[in-house]
Structure 1
Amino acid sequence: MKKLTILFVLFLSFRGYGQQKPQYTQYIFNQYLLNPALSGIENYIDFKAGFRKQWSGINDAPQTAFVSAHWALGDNQLWSNALTSFPEQTGDPMDRNYTQNYTASPAHHGMGVVVVQDKAGPLSRLDANLTYAYHLQLSNTFNLSVGAAAGISSIKLDVNSLTFPDSQIDPALSNAIVSQVKPDLSVGIWLYGARVFAGLSAQQVLGQKLSFTNSDNYNTGKEVTHLFATAGYKFFLDDQIAAIPSIMVKYVRPAPVSFDLNMKVAFKDKIWLGGSYRKDDSFSAMAGFNIGKMVNLTYSYDFTTSDLNTVSNGSHEIVLGLLLNNIYKVPSYIKMW
């Protein structure tokens, strides 16, 4: 009966009464997951792999795994400016001198790939997208990028995993659509400099019809557009400690607008701590560290504040990052913070 109830709730969500895309806590370390305009923002290959277990303690609760990578294109992808030369000389991109000597990247192209596997109860979804962005140099200290992501979404319903109290298959599932493939499209813009960033993005903009049965009573579902607006600013507590507050506003019609307030504190280029508050949902604690010039690892835990806290043990998320082809040995993420 529990799985039948979960299926009913998921049907409602796919008809537009809740978000359809996975939820992340560590997007503040990987905005590329939400905005394709960040493709190629750094001058190395940025690879990440992550796993999220949401609402631990609840059977069949959402689980999400993802792999992403993006890089700059063209002969000038390894530009030599403050992004590369200054951190190499000092080994500390978090100090004040970095922002004082920062110069914007030259105009360039970027591309990448994102694959996300999301499972909740009997429903599973695989999204695979290629991304592209163009980075325009607005001034000596600011860039503006525009980007898009295009791909497919494969959505499946596992009818065999459903259980019913009388051991009889519900007639409504006798002609269930167990697998479907839909085109997917996202767009975004991103403004960034040494100490500030801001962006807008829209996921699932095509609004494809989405139904799991041929019954006229249950075939009105469709994908809904997810809108994200985010901004942040870096300021210094001293020469070796930087604090980056940020905010994200998410809107998925007709659900209420969601607000996230975030804070990350970075100690040199070695370790960072953070916290986040999602209105009417959770508090989160985050931590991460760099291993040499190539590897970083981050972990977050969400303390549920909604009514689910009576049955959920919170949510866990872990992300492994690699800075590939990092020939300038940049010790940490510069523009993605």
Structure 2
Amino acid sequence: MKRLLFYILILFFVHIAAAQQRPQYTQYVFNNFLLNPAVTGIENYTDVKAGYRSQWTGLNGAPVTSYLTINAPLGREFIEGSANSFSAGGGENPNSRLYTQDYMAAAPHHGIGAMVVTDKAGPITTTNFDATYAYHLGLTDRLNLSVGVAAGFMRTNLNTSEITLETALDPAIANGNNGQFHPDLGLGMWLYSSNYYFGISAQQILPQSLYLKSTSIDVIKTVPHYFFTAGVKLFVSDDITLMPSVLVKQIKPVPLTYDVNMKLAFRDNFWIGGSYRHGDSFGAMTGFYLNSFLNVGYSYDITTSALNTVSSGTHELVIGILLNNRYKVTCPRYGF
């Protein structure tokens, strides 16, 4: 009976996470690097971002995600050879029509990066450590293509101190394989120009079985996650730019899901936006490009699923730092 209760508890959390073995983000448009390794090194500076997401606030054991990412370009021609496109003080606002008209494809270059993502749901904590690499090349004088790979490992840990059973030393816990390491691999492609992008990627493409040593039953099986994303810039005026985007996710056996987002940017100073996640939530977002070193974004999701009776919403905060920013840009030029 005690073991049965334990398995029911575990399966409960597995059921919650079945559609979300990898964390989901409202501000993925602020850091597409999280979903697609081909974005590695897309900008002319070293891009560092730290994020924190508290999902379904008010629900005990709800997912909490934190991450730290860093990626940078390699290639002197790209880093130093863009003097015609960049000038001291940042040059032309990349959200403007004029920047789009003068845009030139990035010089061929490499990108390297790394990320640490920790996701905690109930007593289960999953941490991914990945190194990334991408190669960028110009297909035409205005169109770029990059391909990338992410490789590392995933650690899954069951915190038995958060589980209460009739017998504290139940062998299902005491003898279980409560901390496990597994390889992790992801791939991606990114097609981008000055005013649109398309991306496809796959995460967790090496399926793994997470289990307890005391039983032959597989408690969790990881599955590949597939993503398609696209966005475009629409110019309302010389100072205001509308940027709609979409993210489609395929995670079997869960039905196809999608997010729709809209950002309204005022020059390279700040932006506001909204999002809709099918069958899950509506979100409000805002971000500020404070200077050539620091930017910040915040979002709040209103839950529309059945969990809205026990959840007061989802908060997400992202802080960005621009290192080695030789041309003092304040917002992305090759990304959105």
TM-score tier by shorter-chain length is over 0.9
Q: Tell me which residue corresponds to 2:159.
A: 158
Q: How far off its partner does 1:213 sit?
A: 4.1
How far apart, CA to CA, are the structure 2 residues paired with 1:116 and 1:238? 38
Matches within 5 A, 1:168-207: 172-207=172-207
Tell whether 2:96 aligns with 1:112: no
Structure 2, gaps ≥5 residues long: none
Q: Tell me which residue corresponds to 1:9.
A: 12
Amino acid at match of 1:298: G
Q: How far off its partner does 1:246 sit?
A: 0.6
Matches within 5 A, 1:64-213: 64-78=65-79, 79-80=81-82, 83-85=85-87, 88-90=90-92, 92-164=93-165, 166=166, 172-213=172-213
Q: Helix, strand or coil: the match of 1:326?
A: coil
Q: Helix, strand or coil: the match of 1:18?
A: coil
Matches within 5 A, 1:1-337: 7-12=10-15, 17-78=18-79, 79-80=81-82, 83-85=85-87, 88-90=90-92, 92-164=93-165, 166=166, 172-216=172-216, 218-219=217-218, 221-337=220-336
How far apart, CA to CA, are the structure 1 residues paired with 2:6 and 2:25? 24
Range moving further from structure 2, 32-41 or 69-78:
69-78
Partners of 1:4 and 1:163 within 8 A in 2 = no
How far apart, CA to CA, are the structure 2 residues paired with 1:11 and 1:30? 27
Provide, for residues 149-181 of structure 1, a one-character-per-residue CA deviation record: whole Å limited to 9, x for no partner.
0001111101121013x4566554343211110
Range moving further from structure 2, 77-86 or 255-264:
77-86
Q: 1:108 to 1:279 in 2, by over 3 A?
A: same
Cα RMSD between the aligned structures?
2.1
Partners of 2:249 and 2:258 within 8 A in 1 = yes
How far apart, CA to CA, are the structure 1 residues paired with 2:263 and 2:286? 9
Q: Helix, strand or coil: the match of 2:47?
A: strand
Q: How far off its partner does 1:7 sit?
A: 2.8
Amino acid at match of 2:13: L
Q: How far off its partner does 1:294 sit?
A: 1.3
Range moving further from structure 2, 169-178 or 284-293:
169-178
What percentage of residue pairs aligned between the two structures are identical?
46
Q: 1:191 to 1:128 in 2, by over 3 A?
A: same
How far apart, CA to CA, are the structure 2 residues paired with 1:178 and 1:274? 41
Q: 1:238 to 1:87 in 2, by over 3 A?
A: farther
Partners of 2:26 and 2:316 within 8 A in 1 = yes
How far apart, CA to CA, are the structure 2 residues paired with 1:107 and 1:86? 23
How far apart, CA to CA, are the structure 2 residues paired with 1:320 and 1:88? 20
Q: 1:276 to 1:5 in 2, by over 3 A?
A: farther
How far apart, CA to CA, are the structure 2 residues paired with 1:36 and 1:156? 25
Aligned length: 332
Partners of 2:212 and 2:219 within 8 A in 1 = no
Provide, for residues 226-265 of structure 1, a one-character-per-residue CA deviation record: whole Å limited to 9, x for no partner.
0000011101001100001011100110011111011001
Partners of 2:78 and 2:106 within 8 A in 1 = no
Q: How far off its partner does 1:87 sit?
A: 7.4
Amino acid at match of 1:290: Y
Q: How far off its partner does 1:220 sit?
A: 6.1
Q: How far off its partner does 1:57 sit?
A: 0.2
Amino acid at match of 1:285: A
Q: 1:63 to 1:25 in 2, by over 3 A?
A: same
Could you tell me the TM-score, scaled by structure 1's length? 0.93
How far apart, CA to CA, are the structure 1 residues paired with 2:282 and 2:170? 39
Q: 1:320 to 1:101 in 2, by over 3 A?
A: same
Amino acid at match of 2:110: H
Q: 1:42 to 1:180 in 2, by over 3 A?
A: same
Partners of 2:10 and 2:219 within 8 A in 1 = no
Q: 1:296 to 1:173 in 2, by over 3 A?
A: same
Provide, for residues 115-174 of structure 1, a one-character-per-residue CA deviation record: whole Å limited to 9, x for no partner.
11111111111111000000011011010000000001111101121013x456655434
Partners of 1:197 and 1:232 within 8 A in 2 = yes
How far apart, CA to CA, are the structure 2 residues paired with 1:192 and 1:219? 41
Q: 1:87 to 1:254 in 2, by over 3 A?
A: farther
How far apart, CA to CA, are the structure 2 residues paired with 1:181 and 1:168? 25
How far apart, CA to CA, are the structure 2 residues paired with 1:9 and 1:119? 14
